[in-house]
Structure 1
Amino acid sequence: MAIFYYIEIFLPSLCFLFLFHWSWKRVSAITNWPIVGMLPGLLCKAPNIHEYATQVLKQSGGTFEFKGPWFANMDFLVTCDPMNVRYISSKNFANYPKGPEYKKLFEPFGDGVLTSDSDSWKSFRKLIQSLIKHRKFQLFQERSMRHKVSQGLFPVLEHVSRLGTEVDLQDVFQRFTFDNTCLLVLGFDPNCLSVDLPELAYRMAFDEVEEAVFYRHIVPEIIWKIQKWLDIGEEKKLSRAMEIIDRFLYQCISLKQEEFRTQRTQIEQVDQKKDEDFELLTACMAQKEEAEMEMEGNEKMDAYIKSDRYLRDIAFNFIAAGKDTVSAALTWLFWLIITHPSVEKRILEEIKVNFQAREDGNWRFFEVEELGKLVYLHAAICEALRLYPSVPFNHRVSIQPDTLPSGHHIDANTKVMVSLYSMGSMEEVWGHDCLEFKPERWISEQGGIIHVPSHKFIAFNTGPRSCLGQDLTFFQMKTIVTAILWNYHVQVVEGNPIFPCLSVMLHMKHGLKVRVSKRSGV
């Protein structure tokens, strides 16, 4: 992050930069400076922010109060205590909404499900749940996964295997999930995952949005607001990225609306369409009348639902969530599997035993029913998400004063940050071997998956705002892992540094460089 933008904007930042440099060498990570608070320590540790937060939380018993600069409104409480998480996310859910500050930080997400609260959020959630649980959508996403594996993933891996070249597996996964998510949401396949690995501006723009949103989290609001006003720095990048994304989304919406009007306008008629046509954008258009009826009397919300911005926000939220959560999880999972040969061996043995699969020279794609039998692979996915959750942090704001189970007092309008990443590294939560990758911890003596409360295993959040796409995530991950592991041997390139980048998603900063070869036998 380029903190030197401060010099262009804010004269007192010269003093701040001096303190920042000095704190790198001499100051404890939790020193509370006069005027600037703990921000210098936070910024000097920004390249390794998640480990830094974990160490601070370990020293503080799982909950810590961060003090920002006096002028910046950056004070917040961060916790990874499961009891606090359960209380905030479930027991006293009504007192901890996302709040207006969250919406400002995540401005590009509009008024979609990820940023909304109260009735608006309930309406979005009801809509999303009805869509992703629809049988036609489930059949559609199964077909789209099969198509993308056979027509996208296998040809790319076969190409790099034949040439013996390196490939960034993280980039492959991001391309795969972007294509698949766009197909499910917009009915449009960008074909990012092809042998020539094309660069598309609107795909890259989504990544730039994530980085800019993260930047807003670690600098005072006045800084990024001035950058936005002057159109410089990270805010300039964000503005350009949003122009590209909105142009792409509104074009897709316009095309779908024209197609929708010429074909059918009633929900009953849409339900009679072929399964292949059931993408979420068209389904949302068909359900707009129902949503408008539910919001009758709320003129502001009614006008929003009738606008194209409503569909834009739905599409943006779906694509942002769908493309990144799965690709990030896959990247960390593959790194863990291929650096733990015993785990890889057990997954391959499980496939062979359950499916009686044999090498016949052809690519093998496993069916939904087959994937459900893979208990050890399911455990490995849970373990990877425990250590490296795709969304490393989440935050709320208190409405009324409160006291958490840990005893910490919360004033009204206090920002509360939940560190999903840190919880996986807590001995008090997961035991002395919490830093080890051990899928076995998820398997019972009877051979099934051990149920872990969602406020402890919070990769999919917990409480009323828990992720509706959990089953879809496991299906997609199992599909891709089995397809790759059964058909190819993957090896990490020596010297590839592995650590998270600065983003609201837990991507690898330098990607996951690997070499791929055809698997000759299992």
Structure 2
Amino acid sequence: MNNSLMIDLLSDNARQGVDDLHFVSSLGILFFPSIVFVTYVCLWWHHLMYGKKKGLVVHPIVRTFIAVLWNLEHIHDWMTEQLKEKTSSMTARLVRPGSAAFYLTRCLNLSLPNVKLAHAFDTATAITSSRFFMCPFVWGTKRALNIGSERILHESLRQIDEFAIDMIQKRMQKLLESSTELRSGLNSDDAPEPLSSPPHMDLLSRFMGVATEAEKLRTLDSSGGDDQKRGGYSDVFLRDIVISFLLAGRDTSSSGLSWLFWLLSRHRRVVDAIRAEIREVVKSRNCTNLSTGASKFTYEELKNMHYLHAELSESPRLYPPLPVDTKFSVKEDVLPDGTRIPKGSIVAYASYAMGRMEQLWGSDCLEFKPERWLQNGGFVPQCPYKYAVLQAGPRICLGKELALLQIKLVTTGLINCFDFDVPEDFKPTYEISLLLPMKYGLPTKISPSERES
């Protein structure tokens, strides 16, 4: 190849490179104004929607997602700080990319399952909880493809559904047998014999309409499908009722007891005060054996233990079994502090944060202080919209009194009979869940207590 040919080839390559550069430059000149315009519109829209709002800074595109991930390990404490320090209205706004806003407030106006089922419940609640901190596109795609955590969630929900439907069908069979036995007794000339298994009057049976729909129950086939009616309600509705009660009652009491006994291990005076109250009740019945007497408390005796009641109210104030309770806004609304809630938003009241607000509980809000519930030795309840641990108003927990009674029985029995020694260096933390379970449980050494005889 001669020199002139070589020079011609290099010249051609150089010209081609210049032409390519001109083409790229032309594209940049063409699209740059468009990119600037789109960016401007996005920033303008973002400022219009969030720039003048109170609370957390909502960044373009990533919104508050990075801040949530950064503080995920101590999410409830972080949310408490946001509500205490960065919002005068006590309402914070969390916004995930591609999702409706999540409002964190209820600045409320002050005026029995097997191991397999238990595992399924734990798995379902954990995965469901993780959705709140994940882009909807991610978990939505996994659900559509039935892969990863969403596949596990689907299987867990299937097991829970099977348990609920089985419970409904068995209860239906019991009710049918009781109804048949009752009618046989009424049709005979002799007086009816006592039923071998009296009709159940629990909540599930009441939903089935055992009192008002007896004739309907008699004619129903207990093997019906989802559309089968049970005294006026479908199997799907009854299934949801069963799951709702299981979800509301499972682990809430045990979680609360873990935090309770950790607090008691740090406040010996509270334990002594409860034991003194137990002694007074037992001695009033002329019973000298505290151990025997404490296992036979009546409802009225437990009801009159005012310090015990105060202590069982103070513990969930700081460590509520349900730290955040979420609702879905079916229409546009306005919170008591003036915050506008668009339709389709998620609204949550943070009971964990509410128990740590000086605006509600005073400067000693972080102290474990049962005395704040007492006046002249008697228990004085707080406003339910200030102490919304078990919700308030028409949606207050139906099992509130039963749960409180169970915890009273467990607490009095254990405190009266045992001492609990928790390591001094133990610093509990919570798991990220719909509930507030103590991570790794409560390590404690249990020994018989020295009781008066």
Shorter-chain TM band: 0.7 to 0.9
Aligned equivalents of 2:210, 2:281: Cα separation in 1: 41
Quick one: structure 1 residues 468 and 259, their matched pair in 2 at CA, closer, same or farther if it must change by over 3 Å? closer
Provide the residue aligned with 1:392 in structure 2: 323
Q: Please give the residue correspondences for 1:120-139 in structure 2 after superposition, counting only pairs within 5 Å.
A: none
Is 1:335 the equivalent of 2:258?
A: no
Provide the residue aligned with 1:518 in structure 2: 448
CA contact (8 A) 1:493 1:514 kept: yes
CA contact (8 A) 1:375 1:449 kept: yes
Provide the residue aligned with 1:68 in structure 2: 95
SS for the counterpart of 1:417 is strand
Aligned equivalents of 2:281, 2:291: Cα separation in 1: 20
SS for the counterpart of 1:82 is coil
Quick one: structure 1 residues 242 and 415, their matched pair in 2 at CA, closer, same or farther if it must change by over 3 Å? closer
Quick one: structure 1 residues 414 and 288, their matched pair in 2 at CA, closer, same or farther if it must change by over 3 Å? farther
Quick one: structure 1 residues 341 and 240, their matched pair in 2 at CA, closer, same or farther if it must change by over 3 Å? same
Aligned equivalents of 2:332, 2:162: Cα separation in 1: 43
Q: Please give the residue correspondences for 1:144-155 in structure 2 after superposition, counting only pairs within 5 Å.
A: none
Comparing 227-236 and 273-282, the one that deviates more: 273-282
The alpha-carbon deviation at position 31 of structure 1 amounts to: 4.4
Provide the residue aligned with 2:352 in structure 1: 421
Provide the residue aligned with 2:151 in structure 1: 236
CA contact (8 A) 1:211 1:502 kept: yes
SS for the counterpart of 1:66 is strand
Aligned partner (choices 359, 371, 375) of residue 440 of structure 1 = 371
Q: In angstroms, what is the RMSD of aligned CA positions? A: 3.1
SS for the counterpart of 1:63 is coil
Unaligned stretches of 5+ residues in structure 2: 1-54, 186-193, 217-225
The alpha-carbon deviation at position 239 of structure 1 amounts to: 1.8
CA contact (8 A) 1:57 1:80 kept: no
Unaligned stretches of 5+ residues in structure 1: 1-28, 88-181, 183-188, 191-199, 294-299
CA contact (8 A) 2:204 2:238 kept: yes
Aligned equivalents of 1:381, 1:405: Cα separation in 2: 29
CA contact (8 A) 1:363 1:487 kept: no
Provide the residue aligned with 2:20 in structure 1: none
Quick one: structure 1 residues 281 and 478, their matched pair in 2 at CA, closer, same or farther if it must change by over 3 Å? same
The alpha-carbon deviation at position 253 of structure 1 amounts to: 3.0
The alpha-carbon deviation at position 63 of structure 1 amounts to: 2.5
Provide the residue aligned with 2:398 in structure 1: 468
The alpha-carbon deviation at position 312 of structure 1 amounts to: 2.1
Larger Rg: 2
Quick one: structure 1 residues 360 and 472, their matched pair in 2 at CA, closer, same or farther if it must change by over 3 Å? closer
Provide the residue aligned with 2:70 in structure 1: 44
SS for the counterpart of 2:444 is strand
CA contact (8 A) 2:105 2:349 kept: yes
The alpha-carbon deviation at position 215 of structure 1 amounts to: 1.1
For residues 391-446 of structure 1, the C-alpha deviation after alignment (integer angstroms, 9 at most, x for no partner) is 1112234445444332323333333221111010001110000000000000012x
Aligned equivalents of 2:282, 2:396: Cα separation in 1: 33
The alpha-carbon deviation at position 521 of structure 1 amounts to: 1.7
Provide the residue aligned with 1:33 in structure 2: 59
Quick one: structure 1 residues 306 and 472, their matched pair in 2 at CA, closer, same or farther if it must change by over 3 Å? closer
Quick one: structure 1 residues 266 and 286, their matched pair in 2 at CA, closer, same or farther if it must change by over 3 Å? farther
Aligned equivalents of 1:42, 1:360: Cα separation in 2: 50
Provide the residue aligned with 1:346 in structure 2: 273
The alpha-carbon deviation at position 245 of structure 1 amounts to: 2.2
Provide the residue aligned with 2:384 in structure 1: 454
Amino acid at match of 2:241: I
Quick one: structure 1 residues 69 and 489, their matched pair in 2 at CA, closer, same or farther if it must change by over 3 Å? closer
CA contact (8 A) 2:181 2:195 kept: no
For residues 482-503 of structure 1, the C-alpha deviation after alignment (integer angstroms, 9 at most, x for no partner) is 1111111122245544111111
Aligned equivalents of 1:436, 1:292: Cα separation in 2: 57
Aligned residues: 374
Provide the residue aligned with 1:197 in structure 2: none
Aligned equivalents of 2:179, 2:228: Cα separation in 1: 22
Amino acid at match of 1:314: I
Amino acid at match of 1:287: V
Question: Per chain length, whose mean CA-contact separation is higher, i.e. which structure has more relative contact order (CA < 8 Å, sep 6+)?
Answer: 1
Quick one: structure 1 residues 330 and 291, their matched pair in 2 at CA, closer, same or farther if it must change by over 3 Å? farther
Comparing 276-285 and 253-262, the one that deviates more: 276-285
The alpha-carbon deviation at position 212 of structure 1 amounts to: 1.6
Provide the residue aligned with 1:226 in structure 2: 141
Aligned equivalents of 2:169, 2:400: Cα separation in 1: 30
Quick one: structure 1 residues 276 and 493, their matched pair in 2 at CA, closer, same or farther if it must change by over 3 Å? farther
Comparing 388-397 and 400-409, the one that deviates more: 400-409
Aligned equivalents of 2:133, 2:326: Cα separation in 1: 14
CA contact (8 A) 1:383 1:439 kept: yes
Amino acid at match of 2:414: I
Aligned partner (choices 117, 141, 151) of residue 202 of structure 1 = 117
For residues 228-267 of structure 1, the C-alpha deviation after alignment (integer angstroms, 9 at most, x for no partner) is 2233333223122223222333333333333333332699
Provide the residue aligned with 1:58 in structure 2: 84
Amino acid at match of 1:506: L
Provide the residue aligned with 2:361 in structure 1: 430
For residues 299-349 of structure 1, the C-alpha deviation after alignment (integer angstroms, 9 at most, x for no partner) is x99858554333322221112111222222222212111221110110011
Which has a greater percent of helix? Answer: 1
Provide the residue aligned with 2:25 in structure 1: none
CA contact (8 A) 1:359 1:521 kept: no
SS for the counterpart of 2:378 is coil
Aligned equivalents of 1:488, 1:378: Cα separation in 2: 20
The alpha-carbon deviation at position 350 of structure 1 amounts to: 0.7
TM-score (norm 2): 0.74
Aligned equivalents of 1:67, 1:217: Cα separation in 2: 10
Aligned partner (choices 336, 340, 343) of residue 412 of structure 1 = 343
Aligned equivalents of 1:319, 1:434: Cα separation in 2: 32
SS for the counterpart of 1:452 is coil
Provide the residue aligned with 1:484 in structure 2: 414
Aligned partner (choices 300, 306, 309) of residue 236 of structure 2 = 309
TM-score (norm 1): 0.65
Quick one: structure 1 residues 205 and 485, their matched pair in 2 at CA, closer, same or farther if it must change by over 3 Å? same
SS for the counterpart of 1:264 is helix
Aligned equivalents of 1:244, 1:462: Cα separation in 2: 32
